[in-house]
Chain A
Amino acid sequence: MTSNIRKIGAILRSCVLLFMAISSGNAQAHSSSNSYITFSTQDQISVLRVDINLRDIDLVFDLDQNKDGKVSWGETLAKTTEITAWLEQGIALSRTNQKCSLTQMNIKASDHADGTYLSVEWAVACLGAAQEGPAGLSLRYGLMFDQDNLHRALVKIDLPDAQSSAILSPDRPEVSLTKANDSVPRVLARYLIEGIWHIWIGIDHILFLLSLLILAFLEPSRKSVIQWPAVQNAKTAVLDVLTVVTAFTLAHSITLGLSIFKWLEPSADLIEPAIALSVVAAALNNLLGWAALRRWQLAFAFGLVHGFGFANVLLDLGLPSDQLAIALGGFNLGVELGQIAIVLVFLPVAWTLRHTKFYRWVIVVGGSLTIAVLGTIWTLQRTGFFFDYISL
């Protein structure tokens, strides 16, 4: 009997494992362990920052000294010497096999989505750094891999001459900080795709553009807009569309260039609400009928504002200083291609519907009003007013 009970116990202990296998499958649930490494410059000093989950530090050092099941910041600091030594033996920056010196600046905390991290910064000094910049530098990381094979270090290089990212793993613990493959076609392709992507996900830019295009298929008259007749000649409509798109393109290209070359740098706090306001203005302009401003002029004026918005996105992406023009050209070309794709979808639909009441009432009037409302909400959000909790 005892033997039988033991056997059942054994199999049921194994069943605990079994259950998880068959009913959780991929439901495993806590994120895998990541550390975050940033190599950047602060006030002319090269700084290496490592953020590592305190849960992982606790695994290695058993920080809970008073055994209350929790770890305080004081308990963490009590092990600063051991932790620092461990960090510094696990991270190495070197240039042509010569180790750079790391001078610890401070130990702090940082909150990430999966908990509080220990955040350490070091000032980095490498031989020949002044002459050669980041070229020839390599980063080796070996923390945690012996404790957790799933651990990864997510590296972000953010230096004036090099921006890149890398994932370090037990199989690939080292990364070269020299510039990645930055051939002209690759840079052009990367920024071209970014440009297309930005215009497609930038609903504010799309609605602004569409607001400017919907009247291109109606013949202006002194009557109210809902009584405007449909354009008879396709050439007239296409020319109108081309004028508006060209004005928009020209304008945003100007300010995009001015901003990227740092000749004019208005704050994003001003630009983002201004873009939202441009959406409202373009939409409401459609309802003014004969008194409406010329749309190509509106496209040009507000296109200047949108260009600053594009520049902010491009700057966030990081730009290769030696291939600035290629990146800028690629991004701008991408924006144009993205726009053209939107126009090519909209043009045949609008042309087909231009005779209908639906076009005048639903698309022109209803669409413009809806866009104006959306633009107003964005303006309020971007200026920090209410609607903060509404996600649009």
Chain B
Amino acid sequence: MTPFFKVCIAIGFFGGICLSTPSQVRFAPQENAIVLNASVHDKGAQNSAFSDLTKAWRSQPQDLSVSLAYARAVFQIGLAEGDLRWFGAAKAAILPWWKKDDLPADALFMRGLVKQGFHDFTGGLADINKAIDLKPNKAEFWSWRFALHLLKTDLVAALQDCESIDRLFGQDESKAYRAILRYRTGDPQVAIGLLKTLLNSPNYQSASSKEWLALHLGEAYRVAGQSDMAIATWNKQLKITPKSHMIKLSLAELWVQEGQYLQVKQMSASVAPTDALLMQYVLALKGLQDPAEKNLAALLESRLKSQSLRQEALIERPQLIYFIDYAKDPTAGLSLSIENWKSQQEPRDAVLFLKAALALNQPQAAHAVVAWLDKTNYSDPQIKELQARLKTQLQSAPSAK
């Protein structure tokens, strides 16, 4: 049975259940009852700017520059809130130019971003490459290309991007990228040094810069096995930017990994957690043997089933975690991991892939991850432990005797 077929079965299974699920009960709330805890238009200090962009786009949806400005705004909100629906909004804004070749660099770049948001990494990279050809002096084009090269484990190209950033924008700017490349290739201590320097530099004190650097510094600490430092870094940052989805998620994942479930429970009192945070919350409640786990797991399952019913190939990490870490269906988890790994290779996906292979006693299935680890030299405490277990399983496998 091919992995694809297994994925279809999993999707079909969920879909079947969903279709046979009775409709949700209808009710009439009280007039003062809150039915949406956070208005879509509540963007704090950015309220007015976002509102203006929205109005401008709705009145001139065929104007490329207006549409690009709106698409960029909603794409950034999507990244900050961890909400896929904003990517859908960005695509809707640039849809009239979706298949056009003759576009300015900014439009190609935006289209590339949206494409990679939908996991079309090849298409996204092609658009960004064209954008760089047209306008090589735009730093963000290079930064995204670097990101996609790393995602596809094209380390040579990623290093070349760092060198180009060096050459075009100066060495200071490329330090952050080099730091990321270092901790993704087995040298987290060097990355920690570089990121700490940048974090203390007076040039990097804007809120967004500090958040970004703190996030990576924490990640470098985590990779280096310094979990306490990672948690302290992210905790400190969370106090400054309490709404940051990625900081919250990174912290929750590490707390769950470290067995600090109570911390996750205390943090995740959010009224509308993202699927990724909800998944971590469920894992934490499971660790605490909290009776509330059942209801929240049901909520998560319901969300995943609705997604499965869409019959789309987009593989989301919460689904992988649900199958593998939450041990609901390691077989489906392994099949999805194999599919997912073909399009993107990231440390967290590697961990899940290894766990699924180990849980099913199929160590050979993880050969792609082993090759990736050899190629990148990446390691972190979780990977090390899983690699050791993999080695043991491989030695005791019948074919190894």
Contact = CB atoms under 8 A, between A and B. Distances in A.
Nearest to B150: A22
B92 A146 contact: yes
A25 B346 contact: yes
Contact of A73 (B30, B76, B307): B30
Contacts of A391: 294
Given A23-B246, A58-B39, A64-B41, A119 B204 contact: no
B109 to A, nearest CB: 10
Interface residues of A, number: 80
Interface string A57-78: 0110011100101111110110
Interface stretch (B21-29, B359-367, B370-378, B379-387): B21-29
Contacts of B76: 16-17
A360 interface: no
B144 interface: yes
B206 interface: yes
Contact of A12 (B32, B208, B346): B208
A156 interface: yes
A112 B19 contact: no
Contacts of A69: 38-39, 42
Contacts of A11: 139-140, 143, 165, 169, 173
Contacts, number: 275
Contact of A26 (B146, B291, B315): B315
B87 interface: yes
A110 B26 contact: yes
Interface in A335-362: none
Interface in B298-357: 299-300, 302-303, 306-307, 309-311, 314-318, 340, 344, 346, 348-349
A112 B250 CA distance: 27
Contacts of A167: 309-311
Nearest to B277: A29
A109 B316 contact: no
A372 B306 CA distance: 36
B119 A26 contact: yes
Given A8-B173, A150-B91, A154-B306, A20 B32 contact: no
B116 interface: yes
14 contacts: A16-B208, A17-B140, A24-B249, A25-B344, A26-B344, A27-B249, A28-B276, A29-B277, A31-B307, A72-B33, A121-B26, A147-B89, A151-B85, A170-B95
Given A26-B315, A110-B25, A112-B302, 10 more contacts: A4-B170, A16-B76, A22-B346, A25-B348, A28-B84, A30-B84, A70-B39, A71-B34, A148-B89, A154-B310
Interface of B: 19-20, 23-42, 51, 61, 76, 78-79, 81-85, 87-89, 91-92, 95, 113, 116-117, 119, 139-140, 143-144, 146-148, 150-151, 165, 169-170, 172-173, 176, 180, 203-204, 206, 208-209, 211-212, 215-216, 219, 245-246, 249-250, 272, 274-277, 291, 294, 299-300, 302-303, 306-307, 309-311, 314-318, 340, 344, 346, 348-349
Interface of A: 4-5, 7-34, 36, 38, 49, 51, 54-56, 58-59, 62-64, 67, 69-74, 76-77, 108-117, 119, 121, 145-152, 154, 156, 165, 167, 170, 316-317, 389, 391
